[in-house]
């Protein structure tokens, strides 16, 4: 783990938020136990997580917390998307495996972005679409960190299940595309896998320019 300069008030090794950020890892549904985190925990996390930077205060995120039956159905739909119209044996196996893995997940939260294209704001400032997406991504990361802190493992997926014509109906998505689009399928559950710190490239490769403190 990199060392923080002694003069920094933010320390890799002692700051609880730094520890949370460093140890959060994507954990896939195949590693979850059968224990199901309570919907109330997730709802509380959503309520906190939505406190994210949001230009024009548009509050663009929408949340769909699925029950077991709908999770199974989403798994089935993703299996069909993966298999395609003329599946090879390989695609058939992959589709079956995805359907099983997704369908058995203990928890699934679908997060969407709602940015009505015909609004006065978007017509005058088309960049709001991108800014709203940025806000939704901040909110998803807030959620993942809150989950991590509560001992809930999660995975942000963009597996294109929304290409399935039945996806919107199964989830209950309120608005048509492109006004409302999926940002994340957040699978969640309990797992014993430790969140190891991931080695990243050297700081000097990405900190392109900085003042001397």
The candidate with the shortest Cα–Cα distance to 74, out of 186, 205, 196, is: 186
For tokens 């002692």, the residue is 14
Structure tokens at 124: 């005058």
Contact 137, 200 (CB under 8 A): no
What secondary structure does DSSP assign to 76-145, as a single string? HHHHHHHH-SS--HHHHHHHHHHHHHHHT-SEEEEEEEE--TTSHHHHH-TTHHHHHHHHHHHHHHHHHH
In the bound complex, what is the minimum distance in angstroms from residue 136's beta carbon to ligand FMN?
A: 10
Rule CB under 6 A: say whether 158 interacts with ligand FMN. yes
- Neighbouring C-alpha atoms within 13 Å toward the C-beta of 133: 11
- Site for ligand FMN (CB under 6 A): how many residues? 7
**Residues from 15 through 34 that contact ligand FMN (CB under 6 A):** 25-26
Cβ atoms of 98 and 78 closer than 8 Å: yes
Could you give the CA distance from residue 182 to residue 104 in angstroms, rounded to a whole number?
21
CB of 207 to ligand FMN, least distance (A): 19
Residues 173-202 that bind ligand FMN (CB under 6 A): 198
Q: Judged by CB, which is closer to ligand FMN: 206, or 211?
A: 206
Work out which of 112, 135, 153, 157 binds ligand FMN, going by CB under 6 A.
157
Q: Of the two residues 87 and 159, which places its CB atom closer to ligand FMN in the complex?
A: 159
Choice from 22, 116, 156, 179 touching ligand FMN (CB under 6 A)? 156
Of 48-56, 107-115, 157-165, 199-207, which part binds ligand FMN (CB under 6 A)? 157-165
Q: Which of 92, 138, 159, 168 is close enough to bind ligand FMN by CB under 6 A?
A: 159
Residue closer to ligand FMN by CB (options 38, 97) is 97
Structural contact between residues 45 and 73, judged by C-beta atoms closer than 8 angstroms? no
Q: CB under 6 A: which stretch of 35-43, 53-61, 85-93, 151-159 binds ligand FMN?
A: 151-159
Using CB under 6 A as the criterion, which residues of the chain lie in contact with ligand FMN when the complex forms? Answer: 25-26, 156-159, 198
């Amino acid at each position: 783990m990199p060392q923080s300069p002694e003069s920094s008030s933010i320390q890799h090794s002692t700051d609880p938020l730094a520890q949370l950020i460093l140890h959060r890892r994507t954990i896939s549904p195949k590693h979850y136990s059968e224990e199901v985190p309570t919907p109330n925990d997730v709802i509380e996390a959503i309520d906190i997580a939505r406190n994210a930077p949001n230009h024009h205060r548009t509050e663009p995120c929408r949340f769909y917390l699925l029950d077991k039956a709908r999770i199974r159905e989403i798994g089935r739909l993703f299996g069909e998307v993966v298999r395609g119209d003329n599946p090879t044996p390989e695609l058939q196996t992959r589709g079956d495996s995805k359907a099983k893995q997704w369908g058995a997940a203990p928890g699934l939260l679908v997060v969407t972005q709602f940015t009505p294209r015909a609004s006065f704001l978007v017509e005058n400032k088309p960049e709001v679409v991108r800014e709203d997406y940025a806000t939704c991504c901040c909110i998803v990361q807030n959620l993942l960190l809150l989950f991590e802190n509560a001992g809930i493992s999660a995975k942000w997926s963009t597996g294109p299940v929304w290409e399935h014509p039945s996806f919107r109906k199964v989830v209950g998505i309120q608005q048509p595309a492109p006004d409302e689009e999926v940002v994340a399928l957040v699978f969640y559950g309990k797992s014993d896998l430790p969140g190891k710190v991931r080695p990243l490239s050297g700081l000097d490769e990405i900190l392109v320019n900085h003042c001397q403190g």
